[in-house]
Structure 1
Amino acid sequence: MSNHVPGSPTICIHSVCVHTDYRHSQVGLNLVKEFVSRAERAAREGASYECITLIAHEELRGFYEKAGFEWIGLSSVVHGSRPWYEMRRELRARDLENSESTATPSASQLRSAHVLSEQQQGLPPGLWEALQRSSTRSRPVARLLTSFPNAVQDVVTDIDKDGAEGSLCNKYDLLCPRLGCGSIILKSGVATWVERESVQLDSAGETLPDCLGALPNPPATAQWWLVKPNAMAFENIGFSRAIQATGPNGRKLKLLACAECDLGPLGWCEEGGSEFWLACNRVGYRT
């Protein structure tokens, strides 16, 4: 999947992007389904396409499975600190299925077929069931800062991810705090704890979700996770357009949000800046 091969029977999906105004309305899922449908039609009409492949982080597994992709396993691709996983959708196999009887097999027939397939391929018995069980793994559970007896003191460490001692870093992975999301925003040991002047992120009179803690009005101080030198340090983060409010250096602010469920604002950065600030009480912690 690392190189473009003209005429290859494999189609690779690089990414699926949906404008923030249209997320959570199945636009992305419908786009993928339509793409697959057109590829299948082209294959039926003589194109050499045989399958569609992609790599994704684990939390996107359910999204692509809804579009008919199968989970293959760990990918050899290395980019960032998180592992990538391969998924695959066969195209020609679907044509063969459509040419067979449309009768629905019973559960016992399916189990027998799975066992036979395992025996033919020399796979350990029960592997299929194990793979099926693995697909039901739950997302990480975000623990809010208010649940820690000593608040920030319980979520910092002076040892970073490389084992060196220094500034106070995040002891745990930082997650989206929304119940049911839990998307990983930042791995442990990447951010530095800083207490500095608060920043007004919310509109006057705005009602925030319970999982987002209140921030004091400037010039009172707040507790932040400082992330630098660029956005590649994040596992998953979204940015708003520049707003009228300005930061300490006089540049317009961009608000940070969960890139998967759009919960925010979780923090801020200055337009064109190299420092990104997450409010300690607006992220979850994986303990």
Structure 2
Amino acid sequence: MADASKIIYDWLASEDIAAALIIEQQGYPIDEAANLEAFEYRQSNAGDLFLGAYLAQPKGRELVGYVCSTLSPSESLTHESMSTHVPSSTSVCVHSVCVSPTQRRRKIGLNLLREYIRRLEAAQKGGLPYKRILLITHENLRQFYEQAGFEWVGKSSVVHGALPWYEMRKVFGSPETEIAPSSNPEPNPVQQVPAGIWDALQRASSAPRPTALPFSAFPGGTLDLVEPHSSKLGASVNKYDLLCPRIKCGSIILKRGVGQWVERASVQMEPGSLPSDSILAALPAPPETCQWWLITPSPMEFENIGFSRPVQHLQQNSTGVAEDETLGLRRMRFGAAGVERGGQQ
């Protein structure tokens, strides 16, 4: 059986028509299978709609499945729309989705169909006039096509073989492009702002900011800033709220009791050099140690802070927080933030 990782998708070449026809005849009853003439017509006139799934082999590749279609201006499948190809039309009419019997039940067909849809959507975004993909199927395959994003339309007027056919479709872009606008559209409701909300926001924005004290303002240093952890024996946490040290900011970074004081190995921050006006002191070079506020289990423990994008190494943001995505924790430099004495209230 084919390894899904070794499947290659490519537009079917003329020399592979015979192999595709064998798969068609193995996959469909005699009264439903297409003939060589139909395959040659589809490949020569709509080769950019005839996609093959190939299994990579040491000496080449083997065709194990395909999807083939033609174009029609019709918005529904009929005998006429399936028997002709009208270039530059809006409907992609799928004739067959088939996988070799020896390669089934490995999701090759579903992955092939999804790749087919992806290519058609890319072509549509690139300027081709495709608006929809149409197909007819038997009822037992409804779930298969729904997994690929098709919607059930209903029983088809097409009669081909002994069993009834049902139409399904996938519309590109917004479904509204396929639906006529209502003659009496309802206006969008206007959301009313609660009375007094603007005054409340203005009062909050003009409220005096708390005054932060730098680490150097505490005579006892670290001992003045920590207190015992409420449940973890031997651990210490921040005794006060920690504030942003930037002038005129003062927003709370950590509430009291959130950061655990630890001494860990230093790290190399990015960027490596601090700007001349930085409020942060340079870190010692690794492997020397320094003091951190250890924030666990997630960055949601912070009160008011923005994070830089996830990386696989430490990166410093504007408040001196080191982010370590690989460890799943956040460590903040001990002296990076100001302290609000009132935070213990």
Higher RCO (CA < 8 A, seq sep 6+): 1
In the superposition, the TM-score normalised over structure 2's length comes to 0.40
Report the TM-score, using the length of structure 1 for normalisation. Answer: 0.47
Structure with higher Rg: it is 2
